[in-house]
A and B are shown apart, each in its own frame.
Chain A
């Protein structure tokens, strides 16, 4: 080992000197003297480090960071509280939005307030051209889907589980465009091959805003 190699990687303070470094220091007086200075400097630096070890941040710094930690922990609790009900809230909001959208779509035709027994579609010129499954199946005899049971007559079919419209009740009739599949979902007798088609229908809404009965209008908007 020569002087250059020795000083390229001098021994670290407080670490053992390798045999090569020791033999070089033993052989080279200049490096030995300089190395002695470095050792003395290292010892002095260790003394300084020991002296400084007592220096610490004031207690107010700890108080500050602990307060910040607690504040963050509280906010995380709030966030974690949010985390489980946020999806529920999101789903509920989405469902509400879908309902509102459906309601908006259902109201594409201005509603008219009619009295029972006086319902008359403005374009009632012909029988519906829809091929009702109800006419082909025994379900047509189902009381829930009976025209007469709706209490309105004029081709209205009472919706399943809907209350009958009493003679003195005010009803709103709205004309809507609705898919056949939606009607099937509501339990109305629409043939499956027309499930994807858009149908015109008049929906009778009770005073509470709930749909009570429906009647189908043919594709041209007339019975």
Chain B
């Protein structure tokens, strides 16, 4: 099989548009994981994530594929398609998992968490706590965290994917982080209070 290790996404894209199957497969293998994970985070459903991933790459094959390198990277374009498909999926109510805290219009108050909620946790505990916290974020904050923190997209690419200005991405990131810290703190406090209980001998 021909490998395309040095080819950019754009090179692969133009090759696949000319019918190069190897280029299409290379682009798919390069980008499918991120698209699948994004769809998984946003839909909460593995089957929906599979469908969305498939649809994203099929969209590249269609004649009316609207990718324009002047507007942003191919990666941002793919995430943008995935996001639209996720929203369509959620609107249809086909999501297998009910999404918690999707009150997107609720603007979180400014938070000032100064105690590190992750201090003292093992790596595994940290990962599990963060996974729950990210999943509990409202959609508009979850998507920026997934794109920018978990998939390490630039703010510019995230803005293309989300269809909003970079400033909006930046402000949502700031609020999303604050919300994450608050959720982690809320989760940690009961644990601390339980740990604070000391076993006592029954006096009776």
Contacts and interface: CB of A to CB of B under 8 A. Distances in A.
A9 B170 contact: yes
A44 B174 CA distance: 16
A61 B50 contact: yes
Interface in B134-152: 134, 145, 149-152
Interface residues of A, number: 39
A46 B145 CA distance: 11
Contacts of B184: 41
Nearest to B49: A57
Interface stretch (B29-37, B84-92, B192-200): B29-37
Interface stretch (B3-11, B19-27, B71-79, B94-102): B19-27
A7 to B, nearest CB: 7
Contact of B37 (A33, A44, A55): A55
A120 interface: no
Given A9-B170, A47-B127, A57 B115 contact: no
B2 to A, nearest CB: 15
B127 A44 contact: yes
B32 A62 contact: yes
| Interface of chain B, main secondary structure | helix
A66 interface: yes
Contacts of B19: 73, 76
B181 A49 contact: no
A135 interface: no
A55 B127 contact: no
Contact of A45 (B16, B24, B53, B149): B149
Q: How large is the interface on B (under 10, 10 to 19, 20 to 34, 35 or more residues)?
A: 35 or more
Contact of A47 (B16, B114, B126, B152): B126
B123 A45 contact: no
B45 to A, nearest CB: 13
A37 B115 contact: yes
A117 interface: no
Contacts of B150: 45, 48-49, 52
A80 to B, nearest CB: 9
Interface string B106-143: 00000011111111000100110111001000000000
A66 B50 contact: no
A57 B151 CA distance: 15
A36 interface: yes
Nearest to A53: B33
B33 A57 contact: yes
B202 interface: no
Interface in B151-204: 151-152, 170, 174, 177, 180-181, 184
Contacts of A13: 149
B67 interface: no
Nearest to A33: B114
A55 B116 contact: no
B114 A61 contact: no
A41 B36 contact: no
A110 interface: no
A151 to B, nearest CB: 62
7 contacts: A44-B126, A44-B127, A48-B130, A51-B127, A61-B54, A65-B57, A73-B19
Q: Which 3 A-B pairs rank lowest in CB-CB distance, beginning with the nearest?
A: A57-B36, A33-B114, A56-B33
Given A30-B114, A37-B113, A37-B114, 9 more contacts: A9-B170, A33-B114, A40-B116, A41-B184, A47-B130, A48-B150, A49-B151, A62-B25, A73-B19
Interface of A: 7, 9-10, 13, 30, 33-34, 36-38, 40-49, 51-53, 55-58, 60-62, 64-66, 68-70, 72-73, 76
